[in-house]
Structure 1
């Protein structure tokens, strides 16, 4: 079964607000970039008519794509103008640089056709696009210097200097690509970043693009400890397979499902799978024997010590390596060729702080902890919550209350509770004894106060907490993974997986598919240096969302 986008435009045409649109239903694996290529329009144009897509795509979403040229602000001129130009209407935020990129021209081409635009263009302005040059390029394609373009959303405290250092271009080049930036940089402003260096390209020359990419998958199968685990890696009798091997098998099966889908989309990969066990000497042996030489992408290993060693080799060879499972963020430091799929707890609680401030800012929000200053999760939540209220200029929202509780009486907590609104209480603790006692005491107050308790993922492993506490206190656990089993796409995947393996896909099966499909498709799309394509690219898969950000100028990418 193919979990990807269709290859032909078979959308129906509808009329909306006096304009004609194609309607396109988002499928698994679709991105704004792939859809823009399908319809031969820019990503910005899709966003213009579908504002909600900036928050990410979801399977089943309906997009509206302008169906006629005049609605796109591009009008054919009459034959009196040599029949050899079209007119482009400048859209909001567009620059000469961006327009040249849309039509695969140079800025010089545009200025020659429009002498008056030397100092920049304005929204609504009509400029000529020399079709003769476009036809010439189509008829006789030649290898030429490609001017790569990407967009950057300006963040607080960023300057032209910091951006020039980040993207390895001069401040003057950034200004030139953005009509001089006469008003300077503004937070939230979207600007064009010209010509990334060889280390950070968006569009690569042919040396970075391949017909077939080599992939190394390194997983802890523990083959030497399993008499019943055959080369086919199919589970015939789960009880006879080492329990710690099952995770690797499930991930690998999901990976194979992704490869099958990608193959049906015309993508080709040469995949080699290695058993890492848990001994770091095993991965050292792979490196020493040259097994990873010439590889384009590495998935795994799962264990921190092994991953660190392989990541160092990948950094030296400029090979992108992906950690599919939770590891310390130390693996990202100083290695821009590393990605971590699992969201760290600090980022998770930062996102949680933004969410609570957006949807529950009028409720009574409290954070209860034993050692507040030392609790990084509490501080991440607090900072994001307060900052989001400040940015919104919210004068109605309630401030966050910090409560230190070290077992014993909860009179201090009761004094801060409200009996008129929900009490949203964050308890960022992994101390089972502490959590159990606190929940039991709060449960005694359930009839007088309305609660929504937010805990941490480890709570799901606790066996001594009364399940009634979770129900009575409306406990929620933030996580970076969620599988919607009511989704039609998930149901189709389950059927396909069962047909292939005669078993039900587990969490790691979905993870294996998601990680493999996302990164292999990205590799096929951007070549060996696909990293810049990751930033700002939001995609939803079966078990998780992908929205990577660069953790530092010389460091890797974390999924937020």
Structure 2
């Protein structure tokens, strides 16, 4: 038996040598991600050869690393090395923050040197140790070479990655200072392969980036392409197999962006395995510097009058309730709250004074520039940043955008109407600002009728925002007609809705719909009775909770505060509970956010899809409708 094991071990060793693998001994502070980045492979490559590393990863562990042909140029890196401690006796009014500033260290570094400070406050007379560091400049040299490549017009990251047979993540590792959006003329490091080995991007084909944990079966369901068909278009698959981040060539016309049909809601409760305490940061503009805590009544009035503060506090309550719900499931959380004051300079100060490298996720901030600063700063450590209340302009690789894109809302509404099995007529009423999108909608429904608003009689370049009653004469007949109303003008919406109600009599059923519901449908002149009569349908990020059913969250909130929770309370609860549940069901948030997982809570649902070159975007959308003066989920 012993000889057989020896033979197997020798055979395995020879196999490794033939494949040119490397042994790596894990050093303190290293992670799978940092090791993968150093060798320019993916974490999944390492796990494939070292499956035990998923559950047991510690210093001095020996890992087998595939020797990637992709190597970086020499990189000069600064690091801090602990060289000793300085004794300090705490004086009156001294704080951790002040000492950190005085000695140019972080509060966390002082706590690590004085473990008692994790549970006790700093007191006058305490004798503590202040860590001393020196900056070490190291030069990382990797043996294989790269060459310079000049970006051509219309080339993005994925096109270049495909051309050189690497993943987008590999390309980013080769170019640590590359802009998020590359421009023609930019010089990039690429693998030093022969020109004839470069793959050509062909306009007659489509391209798809393989997501984490996607196999051939999942791609068959998603792309309707078999393993044999994919291997025929991408011969290298026979040698390498599927890897996260690979760019695959697919036939033109294959929808690489749509999601799995009829994704079932995932019950994460049954799959909780990671019960390590989750370290979460919440960055919100509380603006505590503007509040006088001693003036209680004045503060109450300020909360009522300031919409932003009211929204933030509601969201915060939802977050705290989610932490409590997660705790009942065995998920503990270390939450740290930061006041960004809705200002990028304060956000920068928070980032400078705190070490977020070991956080599981950061929620917020709300202000666009502040969010961008946080996402960019934490990108280097691959810390997930959750866009909870805003849609960021730039979705970096570590960003989770929880609000679906407007284009997806529109597409979901169109698909909903197209799925109607009844013979339904379609009418489109639009102002001139929405003319282009309405004409595109008409092409989707070729037999539909498009009615545009009248122009101003004195100035033909201006929209008058009305249609004549005669425009709708003889348009409706017995049966069902879907009417898309595309406008942001409340006066137009009010008049059209009134006219449609007059036509919706006897056997003439009119269903009002819109691709993107704005404030036009919430004006003071909009009658909700009319919207209910027309069964107004629209796509939405959230739905209202069903008051006819028992709901522990709603009941707990009413008991505590005496009122029904706002949508911001529900959103804070849903986003935070979903985050904690996903973190407890996988090693990290990235692994728990594959597009086959769809979750739903009080008013929101989440199904993340990795953008081809960027972060994760929620693509779970509701179609809701007015029904007897209630807004309910449309089936």
Structure 2-normalised TM-score?
0.51
8 A contact 1:276–1:283 mirrored in 2: yes
Structure 1 Cα separation of the partners of residues 347 and 439 of structure 2? 38
1:320-331 correspondence to structure 2 within 5 Å: 320-328=384-392, 330-331=393-394
> Aligned-pair distance for 1:362?
1.3
Residue 301 of structure 2 aligns with which residue?
239
Residues 339-379 of structure 1 deviation map (CA, whole Å, 9 limit, x = unaligned): 12122332112111111111265111122212387554x47
Aligned residue in 2 for 1:339: 400
Aligned to 1:465: 526
Give the Å deviation of 1:423. 1.6
Task: Mark the CA change 1:540 to 1:360 in structure 2 (over 3 Å): closer, same or farther.
Answer: same
Question: Once structures 1 and 2 are overlaid, which stretch shifts more, 314-323 or 283-292?
Answer: 283-292
CA 1:235/1:211 → structure 2, altered by over 3 Å: closer, same or farther? farther
Q: Which has the higher contact order (CA 8 A, sep 6+)?
A: 1
Q: CA deviation at 1:451?
A: 1.4
CA drift at 1:174 = 3.6
Q: What is the aligned counterpart of 1:418 among 472, 476, 493?
A: 476
Q: Structure 1's 469 and 373: CA in aligned 2 closer, same or farther, altered over 3 A?
A: closer
Q: Relative to 1, partners in 2 of residues 1:229 and 1:482: Cα closer, same or farther, differing over 3 Å?
A: farther
SS in 1 for 2:609: strand
Question: Which of 312, 315, 320 lines up with 2:376 in the alignment?
Answer: 312
The residue number in structure 1 matching 2:284 is 219
Distance 1:528 1:258 in 2: 19
2:360–2:588 Cα contact (<8 Å) kept = yes
1:234-269 deviation line (CA, Å, top 9, x unaligned):
999853524421211111111111111222222222
- Aligned partners of 2:228, 2:434: CA distance in 1, in Å? 34
Correspondences of 1:29-44 after superposition (within 5 Å): none
Are 1:433 and 2:491 counterparts? Answer: yes
> Could you tell me how far 1:499 is from its partner in structure 2?
4.3
CA distance in 1, matches of 2:550, 2:328: 17
Q: Report the counterpart of residue 542 of structure 2 in structure 1.
A: 481
1:199 — aligned with what?
A: none
Residue 315 (structure 1) shift: 2.1
Q: What residue number does 1:454 align with?
A: 513
Answer yes or no: is the 8 Å Cα contact 1:366–1:400 preserved in 2: yes
SS in 2 for 1:520: helix
Match of 2:566 in 1: 506
- 1:526 corresponds to 2:586: yes
Contact 1:457 1:477 (8 Å CA) reproduced = no
Give the 3-state SS of the residue equivalent to 1:557 in structure 2: strand
Unaligned runs of 5+ in 2: 1-14, 16-50, 58-62, 66-211, 245-250, 257-273, 455-465, 621-635
Alignment RMSD, CA only? Answer: 4.4
Residue by residue over 1:157-191, the C-alpha shift from the partner in whole angstroms, topping out at 9 and shown as x without a partner, is 98989989xx9x946444799xxxxxx999799xx
C-alpha separation in 2, matches of 1:223 and 1:450: 53
Q: Is the 8 A contact 2:279 2:359 kept in 1?
A: yes
Tell me which residue corresponds to 1:405.
453
Against the structure 1 CA distance between its residues 287 and 381, is the aligned structure 2 distance closer, same or farther, given a 3 Å change threshold?
A: farther
Distance 1:503 1:276, change over 3 A: farther
Separation (CA, whole Å) in 1 of partners of 2:529 and 2:243: 63
**2:557 alignment partner in structure 1:** 497
Are the counterparts in 2 of residues 363 and 423 from structure 1 also a CA contact under 8 Å? yes
Note closer, same or farther for the CA distance 1:515–1:175 as it changes in structure 2 (3 Å cut).
closer
DSSP-derived class of the 1:427 partner:
strand
Q: Shift of the alpha carbon at 1:212?
A: 2.6
Rate the CA distance shift 1:466–1:176 in 2: closer, same or farther, 3 A.
closer
Hey, what's the Cα distance between the residues in 1 that align with 2:330 and 2:430? Answer: 53
- The residue correspondences of 1:116-515 to structure 2 (distance < 5 A) are 149-151=213-215, 152-154=218-220, 155=222, 170=237, 172-174=239-241, 211-228=276-293, 238-241=300-303, 242-290=306-354, 292-328=356-392, 330-332=393-395, 335-359=396-420, 361-371=422-432, 375-376=436-437, 378=438, 399-406=447-454, 407-415=466-474, 417-447=475-505, 449-455=508-514, 456-486=517-547, 488=549, 490=551, 492-501=552-561, 503-515=563-575
What do the CA deviations read for 1:372-397 (whole angstroms, capped 9, x no partner)? 87554x478667x66xxxxxxxxxxx
Unaligned runs of 5+ in 1: 1-107, 109-136, 178-183, 190-208, 387-397
Shift of 1:296: 2.1
Structure 1: distance between partners of 2:408 and 2:400: 15
Structure 1 residue 514: Cα displacement: 0.6
Distance 1:229-1:424 versus aligned 2 partners, 3 A rule: farther
In structure 2, relative to structure 1, the CA distance for the partners of 1:435 and 1:142 (3 Å cut) is: closer
Please say if 1:540 is aligned against 2:621: no
Match in the other structure for 1:100: none
> Under a length normalisation based on structure 1, what TM-score does the superposition of the two structures give?
0.57
How far the C-alpha of 1:219 sits from its partner, in A, is 1.3
Contact 1:522-1:530 within 8 A present in 2 as well: no
Instruction: State how far apart, in whole Å, the 2-side matches of 1:493 and 1:434 are.
Output: 39
User: Once the 2 structures are TM-superposed, how far is the Cα of residue 518 of structure 1 from its aligned partner?
Assistant: 0.5
Offset at residue 419 of structure 1 (A): 0.9
User: 2:534, 2:560 → 1: CA distance?
Assistant: 42
CA contact (8 A) 1:353 1:380 kept: no
